[in-house]
């Protein structure tokens, strides 16, 4: 007879399940609400707030399989409580939310991807600098909208915390003449709570409007990967001038890029273009071009979506290093071929959305 099962054992096992699109697991996010053990039978309850039907399915399948793999478990039941984010709920009642402007900001541009890790933040950071330009600088802000894994602070070498004025307006951090903000700046340790109920939607709605952006020509939003609650709230409540979709040439990334594109099309936000990242590796040793993730994917997808392919950004050690060192490539080496591709992409954005 083996030792009786404990809820710690069950939770430890569930920690192996990451929330889709995030590096954190469902237990640390506070989503596992209840664990019941009856001899060799286990039942858990998981609460989710999402409009994406694939997420509960995926978590349920994974959780069931993980629990059944524990020695001594004969039967595992996973109950899911799924609630829709507020904006979706409102839409279901027939009232589409108004997409309103952010005061003082001429153009809000969203940088999105379907798949995680394709280089969205790298692209957003470099594009923001390219949009700012060198001479006759445009006024540009950049906001990291990923509350669970903010990376803009790192890419700009700042861990300065923004301060709020007495009126509750949050002051962005200034770096390289850009106004930087991250939706994760204010959360610090409280992130699990934010996923509960419709809070993530409310927080997202309020946050962008609580920042003291001043007057901006462009505000670049670095969206989290996929089409989750934060992204849906933003596309439904902020008047976006356009979206840029980042993908790698791989089929798996392209399929997800299509889903992200569909989200913008549904709410009538024009897609300015596609940026293919990690397009190829230019080997510094032999000068050859290696198509690590295949080739032609970005071009085909852009044609399919009837949008321009704004840039093909190579996999490049210096690009990664510049981001890790807190000085995006477009700032540290603006004349490099890769930086120029961002400046060219910015030119297209400027033509479509004149400052
Ligand atoms: N073209 C490139 N060449 C070399 N490294 C790159 C390139 N693009 C991105 N990277 C590196 O890949 C990693 C992931 O990039 P990044 O954080 O921009 O992706 P992301 O799509 O924003 O990820 P997430 O989905 O987690 O938000 C980073 O370390 C970044 O420096
Ligand atoms: Mg990112």
Chain mean pLDDT for the chain: 88
Q: Which of 122, 144, 151 to mutate to test the pocket of ligand 1 (most atoms within 8 A of CB)?
A: 122
Per-residue pLDDT at 97:
60
Contacts 24+ apart (CB under 8 A), 91-97: 91/236, 96/236, 97/236, 97/237
Ligand 1: residue of 226, 320, 322 to mutate (most ligand atoms within 8 A of CB) is 320
**Contact, 227 vs 114, CB < 8 A?**
yes
Q: Mean pLDDT, to the nearest integer, of 236-264? A: 92
Which DSSP state fits 194?
H
- For the chain, residues classed under CATH 3.30.300.130 are 7-83
7-83: CATH number? 3.30.300.130
Cα-Cα-Cα-Cα dihedral sign, residues 115, 117, 122, 124: positive
Q: Are 49 and 197 in contact (CB under 8 A)?
A: yes
Tell me the CA–centroid distance for residue 118 and ligand 2, in Å.
8
Task: For residue range 260-288, list pLDDT tens digits in order.
Answer: 999 999 888 999 999 999 999 978 888 88
CA distances from 235 to 89, 191, 208, 210, 260 (A): 15, 22, 12, 18, 11
First to last CA, the chain: 73
Cα 281-330-240 angle, rounded to 5 deg: 100
pLDDT of amino acid 191? 54
Predicted local distance difference test score (pLDDT) of residue 131: 98
Residue-wise pLDDT for 150-179, tens only, equals: 788 889 998 888 888 877 789 999 999 999
Pocket of ligand 1 (CB under 6 A): 113, 116-122, 146, 149, 151, 225, 277-278, 313, 315-316, 319-320, 323
Instruction: Indicate which atom in ligand 1 lies nearest the CA of residue 338.
Output: 1
Stretch 232-239: mean pLDDT, rounded? 92
Angle between helices 120-132 and 337-352 (to 10 degrees): 70
* Residue-level pLDDT at 321: 94
- Whole-number pLDDT of residue 89: 43
Contact of 156 with 180, CB cutoff 8 Å: yes
Q: Report the C-alpha gap between 83 and 109 in whole angstroms.
A: 29
Give me the pLDDT at residue 311, please: 96
Q: Which residues place a Cβ less than 5 A from the ion ligand 2?
A: 120-121, 151
Mean pLDDT in residue range 343-347 = 97
- At residue 125 the predicted structure's pLDDT band, cuts being 50, 70 and 90, is very high
pLDDT tens string 44-90: 999 887 777 788 889 999 999 999 999 999 999 999 888 766 444 44
The reported pTM is: 0.75
The fold of the 105-352 domain, in CATH, is Rossmann fold (3.40.50)
d(Cα 353, Cα 341) in Å, to the nearest integer? 18
How far does the centroid of ligand 1 lie from the alpha carbon of residue 151, in Å? 10
Q: Distance between CA atoms of 123 and 104, rounded to whole angstroms?
A: 24
Q: What is the location of CATH 3.40.50.300 in the chain?
A: 105-352
Tell me the mean pLDDT in the region 23-31: 83
Q: What is the pLDDT of residue 282?
A: 79
The average pLDDT across 92-104 equals 69
β-pairing, 41-49 with 32-38? antiparallel
Is the predicted pLDDT of residue 313 greater than 60, yes or no? Answer: yes
Pocket probe for ligand 1: among 117, 143, 276, the residue whose CB has the most ligand atoms within 8 Å is 117
């Amino acid at each position: 007879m083996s030792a009786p099962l404990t809820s710690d054992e069950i939770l430890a096992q569930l920690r192996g399940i990451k929330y889709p699109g995030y590096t954190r697991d469902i237990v640390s996010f506070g989503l596992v609400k209840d664990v019941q053990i009856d001899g060799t039978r286990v039942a858990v309850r998981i609460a989710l707030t999402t409009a994406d039907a694939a997420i509960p399915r995926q978590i349920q399948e994974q959780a069931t399989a993980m629990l059944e793999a524990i020695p001594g478990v004969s039967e595992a039941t996973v109950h899911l409580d799924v609630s829709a984010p507020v904006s979706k709920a409102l839409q279901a009642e027939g009232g589409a939310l108004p997409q309103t402007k952010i005061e003082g900001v001429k153009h809000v541009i969203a940088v999105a991807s379907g798949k995680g890790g394709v280089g969205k933040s790298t692209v957003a950071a470099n594009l923001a600098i390219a949009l700012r330009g060198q001479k006759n600088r445009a006024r540009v802000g950049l906001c990291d909208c990923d509350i669970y894994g903010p990376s803009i602070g790192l890419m700009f070498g700042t861990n300065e915390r923004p301060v709020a004025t007495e009126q509750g307006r949050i002051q962005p951090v200034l770096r390289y003449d850009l106004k930087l903000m991250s939706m994760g700046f204010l959360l610090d340790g409280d992130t699990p709570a934010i996923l509960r109920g419709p809070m993530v939607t409310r927080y997202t709605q309020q946050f962008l409007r609580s920042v003291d952006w001043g007057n901006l020509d462009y505000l670049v939003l670095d969206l989290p990967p996929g089409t989750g609650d934060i992204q849906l709230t933003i596309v439904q409540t902020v008047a976006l001038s356009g979206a840029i979709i980042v993908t790698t040439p791989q089929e798996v990334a392209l399929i997800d890029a299509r889903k992200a594109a569909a989200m913008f099309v549904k709410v009538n936000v024009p897609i300015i273009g596609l940026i293919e990242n990690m397009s190829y590796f230019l080997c510094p040793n032999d000068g050859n071009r290696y198509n690590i993730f295949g080739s032609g994917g970005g071009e085909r997808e852009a044609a399919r979506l009837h949008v321009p392919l704004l840039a093909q950004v190579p996999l490049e050690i210096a690009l990664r290093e510049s981001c890790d060192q807190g000085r995006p490539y477009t700032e540290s080496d603006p004349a490099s071929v890769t930086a120029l591709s961002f400046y060219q992409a910015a030119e297209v954005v400027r033509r479509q959305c004149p400052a």
